[in-house]
Amino acid sequence: MTQTHIISRDQSKLSLLVKQIRFEANGINSYELVHPQGEELPPFSAGAHIDIILPNGIVRQYSLCNSPGERHRYVIAVLRDEKGRGGSKTLHDALRVQDLAQVSAPRNNFALVPEAKKVILLAGGIGVTPLKSMAHALDQAGIPFELHYCARNPGCAAFREELGIAWQHGKLVHHFDHGQPEQGLDIAALLREPEQGTHLYYCGPAGFMKACAEASSHWAAGTVHFEHFKAPAPAADTAALAPGAFMVKIASSGAMLEVPADRSIADVLEQNNIRIETSCQAGLCATCKIRYLEGEVDHRDYILGDDEHGQFLTACVSRATSPVLVLDL
**For residue range 27-49, what is the model confidence (pLDDT) as tens digits?**
999 999 999 999 999 999 999 99
pTM assigned to the model: 0.76
| Percentage above 70 pLDDT, the chain | 92
pLDDT at residue 177 is higher than 70: yes
Q: What is the mean pLDDT of the chain?
A: 89
Predicted pLDDT at 180 = 86
**pLDDT, greater one: 120 or 281:** 120
pLDDT at residue 8 is higher than 50: no
For domain 118-226, give its CATH number from 1.25.40.10, 3.40.50.80, 3.40.50.360, 3.40.50.1360.
Answer: 3.40.50.80
Predicted pLDDT at 253 = 80
Predicted pLDDT at 232 = 61
Predicted pLDDT at 10 = 40
* 138 vs 171: CA distance, rounded Å: 11
pLDDT at residue 26 is higher than 90: yes
Domain ranges in the chain with CATH number 2.40.30.10: 11-104
For domain 239-327, give its CATH number from 3.20.20.120, 3.10.20.30, 3.40.50.300, 1.20.1440.230.
Answer: 3.10.20.30
For domain 11-104, give the CATH number.
2.40.30.10
pLDDT at residue 25 is higher than 60: yes
Domain ranges in the chain with CATH number 3.10.20.30: 239-327
pLDDT at residue 4 is higher than 70: no
Predicted pLDDT at 280 = 85
Predicted pLDDT at 208 = 93
Predicted pLDDT at 233 = 54
